[in-house]
Amino acid sequence: MNILQITKYYYPAMTFGGPVRCTYNLSSYLAKRGHNVTVYATDALYINNSTRIGIKQQIIGNVKVFYFPTLTRSYGFFVTPQMFAALQKNLGNFDIVHLHEYRTFQNLSYFFLNASKIPSVITLHGQLFTAYVGDHVDSIALRTAFDSLLGRRMLNRSKRVLALTESEAKKCIKLGVHSNKVIVVPNGVDPDDFSNLLPKGEFKKQFHIVNEKMILYVGRINRRKGIDVLIKACSKLFNHKRDTTLVIAGADDGFLTEARLMVKCLGLESSVIFTGGLTRKQILAAYNDASIVVYAGIQEGFPLVPLEAGIMGKGGEIFVLDMGEPVKIIDLAKDMIRLMGLKVGEDIDIVYTGLRPGEKIHEELVSHSEEIEKTPHEKIMLVKTSSVNWQSFREKIDELLGDMDALDLERTRNMLTSMIAENELN
C-alpha cells in the first residue's frame, strides 16, 4: 500500500516527545513489511526554540520524509502552507492517510483538501483534553472552539479513530464520534531499540552522579507533567534518604525556569540534576542506571516512558507489589470525584454496569505455572516465569498479523491459543 503519514514533527525532532517516536516506529515497521511509506512533517527541530531541520527531504530506513517550512508557531498550531500545496498536488497518489495528533494545521489541511475521499485514520496521542494543568483561558477557549467547529466533523470523517486507552475512546464518543469508528490501540515499543545498551553506571559517570540511588523523570519540562509535585515529594524524601539523586531529563517546554527556582527555594541544588535534552542512547542509559522511574503527569494518554522503563529490567523481570488491603472501587470513584471539586450524584453520576463480557470479579496475579519469590524489599515480590524467545515471539506476531489481514478468524484463534497456552479463550 501507499501510505501517507501526516504529522506536526518527525525524526530527528525527538524533543517533542512520544508522538514523534510512535510515528517513527510505526513508519519504520510498515516500511519493513513492504509498504511504501511517506511522511509529511514540519521542519521544526526543537520544542523550545525556532531552530529548523536544515533539509527538505530524506529517506530514513526506506521511509520517504518531507519537511515543510513552518510559517508560524502559535497555540500549538504549526502553519505550513507548502504542505497544503503538496497535499493538493499529491494526495491522490496514496491509498490511505494516517493523521497524528488532533488539533493541528496539518490535519485541517487534509480535511479541507480531501475531495478525492482518500480514506484516513487518526491517532490522537492523548490530545483530547480541552484543559491542561496551568493552561491559560485563551488556550482552553481555542481548543473548545476547534472541537465545536471542526474537530467532531474531522474525526467522524476518518474511517477509524485510534485511541490509546479506553478512557480516551470514551472521550471520543462523548465528542460525538460514532462508536463503531473508535478502536483502542495502545502505544508499543520495539525490543530491538534496547539492544547494545551502554554498560550500567555510564549515565551516572557522565553526569557525575555519586549517590547510590537515582530517581529518574524523562519527558518535556512542562507544567502539566507534574514535575512540581515530584520535586516537592523528593524534598520530603531527601530528609530521610540522603543517598538519592533526582534526575529530570528533557527539553524545556516552558517550565524549566520555575522548576529550577523551586529546587533552589527548597535547598535541593545538590540533589537534583537537570540534564536538558538527551540522545536516545543517553535516555536508555539513564533507564539502565535508575533505581526508580517516575511519571507524575495525570493528563496523559498512554505514555511511552513507563513502557520503556519496564523493558529495561535485567532479565525482563515481572514484579508483584503488596498493595495492602484492597480498596473498594466505589470508594475510589467517590474520592476522585471529590478531589476534582465535584459532587457525587450532582455533577457526576456513578453507574453500576455489572460484569461485561471478558471481565472478572477477581484477577489472578500469577498463573499456575509461575512462582513468587521474595526480594530484599518486603512489599515487592519477584515472579519466576519461563523466559521469552523474543525472535520467535516476533515471528509469531507477524504471522498473526497476516492471518488477521486475511480475515482467517479460526487460524487467528488457534495462533493466539498457542501463544498464550495458559489462557482459555471463550
Domain ranges of the chain: 2-188, 192-313, 390-419
Q: Dihedral, CA atoms, 94, 98, 104, 105, nearest 10 degrees? A: 0
Residues in the chain: 426
The whole-number pLDDT of residue 317 equals: 58
User: d(Cα 374, Cα 182) in Å, to the nearest integer?
Assistant: 42
DSSP track, 215-249: EEEES-B-GGGTHHHHHHHHHHHTTT-TTEEEEEE
The whole-number pLDDT of residue 86 equals: 92
The whole-number pLDDT of residue 273 equals: 95
The whole-number pLDDT of residue 422 equals: 44
The whole-number pLDDT of residue 81 equals: 92
Instruction: Say if strands 380-384 and 318-321 run parallel, antiparallel, or are unpaired.
Output: antiparallel
pLDDT tens over the chain, length 426 residues: 999 999 999 999 988 888 898 899 899 999 999 999 999 999 999 887 888 998 999 999 899 999 999 988 876 788 999 999 999 899 889 999 999 998 888 888 888 887 557 899 999 887 776 655 555 666 777 778 877 778 788 888 889 999 888 888 888 888 888 888 998 888 777 777 777 778 889 999 999 999 888 999 988 888 778 888 889 888 888 887 778 999 999 888 888 999 999 999 999 999 999 998 888 889 889 988 988 888 766 545 555 655 565 555 555 556 666 656 677 788 888 888 887 778 888 888 888 887 777 666 666 666 666 677 776 556 667 777 665 566 676 777 777 777 666 666 777 777 777 766 544 444
192-313: same fold as 2-188? yes
The whole-number pLDDT of residue 426 equals: 40
Residues 6+ apart with CB under 8 A from 210: 204
End-to-end alpha-carbon separation of the chain, Å? 34
Strands of the sheet with 318-321, listed across from one edge: 318-321, 380-384, 371-374
pTM (two decimals): 0.63
The whole-number pLDDT of residue 131 equals: 56
Fold category of 192-313 in CATH: Rossmann fold (3.40.50)
State the amino acid at position 173 in one-letter form: I
Write the burial class of residue 369 (CB in 10 Å: 0-12 exposed, 13-18 middle, 19+ buried). Answer: exposed
Q: What is the CATH number of domain 2-188?
A: 3.40.50.2000
The whole-number pLDDT of residue 423 equals: 44
Contact predicate 158/196, CB 8 Å:
no
